A and B are shown apart, each in its own frame.
Chain A
Amino acid sequence: MARLSHQPWCLASALAVPLLAMASPGLLKLAGVSPSWAVLWLLPWALVDGPVSGALAGFALGLMLDALNLGGASQVPALVLLGWWWGQISRQGPPVERSFSLGLLALLGALLLNLSLMLQFALQGTPLEVLRLSGVQILFAQTLVTALLAPMLCSLQLLLWRRQISSLRG
């Protein structure tokens, strides 16, 4: 069976996520907050390659991003869950193609990711006042900017990777 995860260059494209997270281009920021590049890469990957590959890709991305951050909270649980969920959606229903659907899935993904980070910070003793001051703004800004970029970026990735799969199947 043709799988994206068997293609080395498709796997290598995941490296763009930490590189973009580090570059954090100023033009694509909203209120000083970058989009969640992990969500934007993982969504089309999981939709094309299924739940197991999606969860594994989410795990790998989470580990890479956690290594780049100061610590205190991990992105791994949310990304694994999102990879699995988006993979299941693609298996159970008709293929997701519409820009609105992609935007909505990215919005929910970014929201879940930020909520999981906020919960972890809260459990580790960060005062709720601090989370209210900065966390809520980051949550809304990142969710919004990720959802706005998803129809543009995820549609292209979906197209590219579906073509790749169909060419592999012959």
Chain B
Amino acid sequence: MPPGRSFRVPSPRLLVQGWPWLLLLLALAGIRLSKGAFLSELYALLSAPFWPGSAQQEWLQSAQKLSDQTQLAQLQQDNRRLRTLLDLSHAHPQLLMAPVISREPGGWWQQLLIGRGELQGIHPGDAVLAPGGLLGRVASVTPITARVTLLTDTSSHVGVWVGRTQRHGLLTGVGTARPVLRFLEKDPQVRPGDVVVTSPASTLVPPNITVGVIQAINDKAVPAPEAVVQLSAPVEAVDGVQVILNSSR
């Protein structure tokens, strides 16, 4: 300011004309006060496509899966060795792959027809597995086919237990997609979400095979509570099964 001139307040007109600069100043002040929140958010938005994405996630998941599979194989091997030491039956279950050639899960008889039979060593009573768990048992065989009774059929009765509470029950088909689990005790202490596996005491099917998940419990049933079980093997979608050949025959 040159000497001799007095300080003048900027005219209101100038203030009105310079409103964009004021706005910018306010915005900068806002950014400063919010510790750069706007800039961080903007950066996050712009860099989102380059974040560690699904490809990396899949990579990690596949590594985890590989580790799980290795561990599972190791445990299965250990289990087999220990069962052999204890001289239990089903020590060496032999699995046979079989294609599903006919499926009738919705009529009066819930059954499957598979494309392997007596010539391949299948016998009535052999357990049948699908991806997900137990599917049923072989009812009858011909030289090249076998008929499988699904767990949902009314003639199916399989001994199972709930691993978490270690309570036994009898899984009975009722003709619908979800069989009923009848417990042997008054207070089975189970809840929806518990996993049901084949009973270690069962002589009909190998032990500890996943069967399904408890969906609902009826505490008022007599003489003991009942539970509705959602099977883990998808009957409608399965096109190939594994038959556990009974090596004791």
Contact = CB atoms under 8 A, between A and B. Distances in A.
Interface of A: 21-24, 29, 31-34, 69-73, 114, 117, 121, 126, 129-131, 133-135, 138, 142
B46 to A, nearest CB: 49
Contact of B147 (A70, A73, A135): A70
- What are the nearest 9 A-B pairs in CB distance? A134-B175, A32-B106, A22-B102, A70-B109, A69-B109, A130-B174, A33-B106, A134-B176, A70-B111
18 contacts: A22-B101, A32-B236, A33-B107, A34-B106, A69-B108, A69-B109, A70-B109, A70-B139, A70-B147, A71-B155, A72-B109, A117-B108, A126-B154, A134-B175, A135-B108, A135-B175, A138-B175, A142-B107
B228 to A, nearest CB: 11
A114 to B, nearest CB: 8
B196 interface: no
Contact of A29 (B102, B106, B111): B106
A34 B155 contact: no
B154 A72 contact: yes
A133 B104 contact: no
Contacts of A129: 174
Interface residues of B, number: 21
Chain B binding surface SS class: loop
B126 interface: no
A70 B155 contact: yes
Contacts of B111: 69-70
Contacts of A121: 108, 154
B181 to A, nearest CB: 15
B174 A133 contact: yes
Contacts of A126: 154
Contacts of B153: 70
